[in-house]
Amino acid sequence: MSWRKFNGEIIHLPILDEVEYAIERESSLGFKLKVCVGTDSQVKGETIDFATVIVFLREHHGGFMYIHQERSMKKMGIRERMLTEVQKSIDIAYALCPLLELHDVDMEVHADINTNPHFKSNIALHEAMGYILSMGFVFRAKPEAFASSNCANKIVQ
- DSSP-derived secondary structure for 15-27: HHHHHHHHHHHHH
Residue 157 in this model has a pLDDT that exceeds 90: no
Query: Is the bond preceding residue 98 a cis peptide, omega within 30 degrees?
Result: no
Cβ neighbours of residue 119 under 8 Å, at least 6 residues apart?
A: none
Residue 109 in this model has a pLDDT that exceeds 90: yes
pLDDT tier at 81 (50, 70, 90 boundaries)?
A: very high
How confident is the model at residue 25, as a pLDDT? 97
Residue 140 in this model has a pLDDT that exceeds 90: yes
Number of domains in the chain: 1
Structural domain that includes position 141:
3-156
Percent share of the chain, pLDDT over 90? 97
Residue 1 in this model has a pLDDT that exceeds 90: no
How confident is the model at residue 111, as a pLDDT? 96
Rg (C-alpha) for the chain, rounded Å, is 15
What average pLDDT does the segment 72-86 reach?
Answer: 95
Q: List pLDDT tens digits, range 3-34.
A: 999 999 999 999 999 999 999 999 999 999 99
What average pLDDT does the segment 136-155 reach?
Answer: 95
Between CA 26 and CA 5 the distance in angstroms is 16
How confident is the model at residue 146, as a pLDDT? 96
Neighbours of 51 (CB within 10 A): 23
